[in-house]
Structure 1
Amino acid sequence: MHNLQPPVASESSPISPTAITEFRKRSLPPHIIEIQKKEALAMVTEHSGESKEEQPQSQPSFLIRHFYRPARTSGTDDHGSDAAPVSFSFLSRGFITLAATLCLIIVAVLCAVLTSIYVRHQRQEQAIRRSPVHEAIFANFPDPAIVKHEGLYYAFATTNAAGILAQAHNMTLADYGRSNIQMATSLDFKNWTLLDSKHDPLPDLGGWVKRGFNEKHIPFANVWAPAVIKRPSDGKFILYYSAAVENATRSHCIGAAISNTSSPAGPYFPLNTTITCPIKEGGAIDPTPFIDMDGSFYLAYKIDGNNVGRGGVCGNTVTPIVSTPIQLQRMKEDGVTPDGPETTILDRTEQDGPLVEAPFLVRSSGGIYFLFYSSGCTRDSSYDVKYAWAQNVTGPYQRADKPLLKTGDFKLLAPGSVGLTEVMEDETFGMAFHARVEAPYGKVRAMYTSTIRLNGSEVLLVRK
Structure 2
Amino acid sequence: MVAVGAATVWAATDRDAVSPAVPTAVSAQAAAGPKLVIPSNFPDPGVIKVGTTFYAYATNSHGKNMPVASAPSARGPWSILAADGLPRLGKWATTGRTWAPAVTRRKDGKFLLYYAARNAALKRQCVGVAVASSPVGPFAPSGSKPLVCNAPAGAKQGKLSPEIIDAGSYEESSRRYLLYKVGYNQYHKPSFLALQRMSADGLQPVGKPKVILKQTNEPYTVEAPELVHRQGEYVLFYSAGVFSKDNYQTRYAVASSLGGPYKKAAKPLMTTAGFGRKVNGPGGADVVWDAGTWRIFFHGAILVGPPPKPDPSPQPKNLQRGMYEADLRWSKGGLPYVQ
Classify the TM-score, shorter chain: 0.7 to 0.9
Match of 1:199 in 2: 83
What is the deviation of 1:415? 1.1
**1:305 and 1:203, CA in 2 relative to 1: closer, same or farther beyond 3 A?**
closer
Match of 1:291 in 2: 171
Alignment match, 2:256? 391
Instruction: Say whether 1:447 aligns with 2:323.
Output: yes
Q: Distance in 2 between matches of 1:400 and 1:458?
A: 9
Is residue 139 of structure 2 the alignment partner of residue 264 of structure 1?
Answer: no
**2:338 alignment counterpart:** 461
**Secondary structure of the equivalent of 1:409?**
coil
> Whose relative contact order is higher, 1 or 2, with alpha carbons under 8 Å and at least 6 apart?
2
Q: CA deviation at 1:407?
A: 1.4
- Residue 248 of structure 1 and its aligned partner are, at CA, apart by 2.7
For 1:436 and 1:370, the matched residues in 2 are separated by 25
Of 147, 165, 170 in structure 2, the residue corresponding to residue 275 of structure 1 is 147
* Aligned twin of 2:218: 352
Q: Once the 2 structures are TM-superposed, how far is the Cα of residue 305 of structure 1 from its aligned partner?
A: 4.7
Q: Is the 8 A contact 1:136 1:448 kept in 2?
A: yes
Query: By how many angstroms is 1:460 displaced?
Result: 2.1
Task: Looking at secondary structure, tell me which structure has more helix per residue.
Answer: 1
Q: 2:291 aligns with which of 425, 431, 456?
A: 425
SS in 2 for 1:408: coil
Name the CA distance, whole Å, in 1 between partners of 2:128 and 2:78.
27
Corresponding residue for 2:66?
Answer: 181
**Unpaired segments ≥5 residues, structure 2:** 1-27, 152-159, 306-316
Partner of 1:229: 104
For residues 437 and 322 of structure 1, what CA distance do their matches in structure 2 show?
A: 26
**SS state at 1:192 partner:** coil
- For the Cα contact (< 8 Å) 1:385–1:405, is it kept in 2? yes
In the aligned structure 2, how far is the partner of 1:374 from the partner of 1:285? Answer: 13
Cα distance in 2 between the residues matched to 1:305 and 1:149: 32
Secondary structure at 1:281's aligned position in 2?
A: coil
Alignment of 1:60-139 (within 5 A): 131-139=32-40
Instruction: Give distance in 2, aligned partners of 1:370 and 1:281.
Output: 29
- Check conservation: 1:281, 1:303, Cα contact below 8 A: no
Aligned counterpart, 1:325: 192
Q: Which runs of structure 2 are paired with 1:42-61 in the superposition (5 Å)?
A: none
Conservation of the 8 A alpha-carbon contact between 1:139 and 1:439: no
CA distance in 2, matches of 1:346, 1:270: 29
Structure 1 unaligned regions, length at least 5: 1-126, 161-175, 212-220, 307-314
Say whether residues 1:247 and 2:113 are aligned partners: no
Task: Spell out, residue by residue over 1:84-125, the C-alpha distance to the aligned partner (whole angstroms, 9 max, x if none).
Answer: xxxxxxxxxxxxxxxxxxxxxxxxxxxxxxxxxxxxxxxxxx
What is the TM-score normalised by the length of structure 2? 0.80
Indicate yes or no: 2:188 matched with 1:304.
Answer: no
Amino acid at match of 1:333: A
Q: Does the C-alpha gap of structure 1 residues 401 and 235 become closer, same or farther in structure 2, counting only changes over 3 Å?
A: same
Corresponding position of 1:338: 205
Aligned residues of 1:369 and 1:390 also touching (Cα < 8 A): yes
Give the paired residue count.
Answer: 289
Instruction: Give me the identity figure in percent.
Output: 34
- Residues 229-285 of structure 1: CA distance to partner in whole angstroms, max 9, x if unpaired? 0112x2210111000011233x100001111x2x21111111222110128532200
TM-superposed CA distance for 1:442, in Å, is: 3.1
Distance 2:291 2:94 in 1: 43
Contact 2:45 2:299 in 1 (8 A): yes
DSSP 3-state at the match of 2:200: coil
| 1:353-372 alignment runs, 5 A limit | 353-364=219-230, 366-372=231-237
Cα distance in 1 between the residues matched to 2:246 and 2:228: 26
- Does the residue aligned with 1:333 lie in a helix, a strand or coil? coil
**Map of 1:86 onto structure 2:** none
